[in-house]
Amino acid sequence: MKLVAARDIYNTKDLGLTLDPKDPLFVDAKHIYKGARFSIGTSENYKDLTQPQLYQVGTLIAYGLAVVENDENLKKDGIIQKIDAQARVENEARKKAMVKPLTQEEIIAAAVAKSVSEVMASLGKK
């Protein structure tokens, strides 16, 4: 059954949530970001899921963590579109917040530049 994450979900092996690696919100199989599409089981039909899978789907929906992707009422009400819009904004903010760590060479170059500027400043004062 295909679902849309309404909030970020931490996935564990026990949950067995399957996230498509081609999904634009895929970063890691252990973290399902808001708006990402994922599935539980192989059936598209709710009635064909196993009892544990039914429980998982019901729990995710009951706690507002996910919605059914092909639910016509949710599409008609614009719920999935709202989730997608919020997810795009959050994803952009997450990308901006990610700072690439400096390499050792960049750290050394910055330290040398600072030292040189301090020496030059002290020579200018004399």
Q: Is residue 60 part of a domain?
A: yes
Is a pLDDT exceeding 80 seen at residue 57? yes
The answer to whether the predicted template modeling score (pTM) of the entire model surpasses 0.75 is: no
In this prediction, residue 13 carries a pLDDT of: 82
At a CB cut-off of 8 Å and minimum separation 6, what does 35 contact? 4, 5, 25, 83, 84, 86, 87, 88, 90, 91
Tally of domains within the chain: 1
Residue 39, both tokens? 């599935």
Q: Is residue 107 part of a domain?
A: no
* Owning domain of residue 63: 2-99
Q: Is residue 106 part of a domain?
A: no
Is a pLDDT exceeding 90 seen at residue 7? yes
Average pLDDT score, the chain? 86
Is a pLDDT exceeding 60 seen at residue 114? yes
Q: Is residue 116 part of a domain?
A: no
Q: Is residue 44 part of a domain?
A: yes
Is a pLDDT exceeding 90 seen at residue 65? yes
Yes or no: say if 38 and 20 are a contact pair by the CB < 8 Å rule: yes
Q: Is residue 41 part of a domain?
A: yes
Q: Is residue 10 part of a domain?
A: yes
Is a pLDDT exceeding 90 seen at residue 117? no
Q: What's the whole-number mean pLDDT along residues 106-120?
A: 86
Rg of the chain over all Cα atoms, to the nearest angstrom: 24
Q: What's the whole-number mean pLDDT along residues 68-97?
A: 86
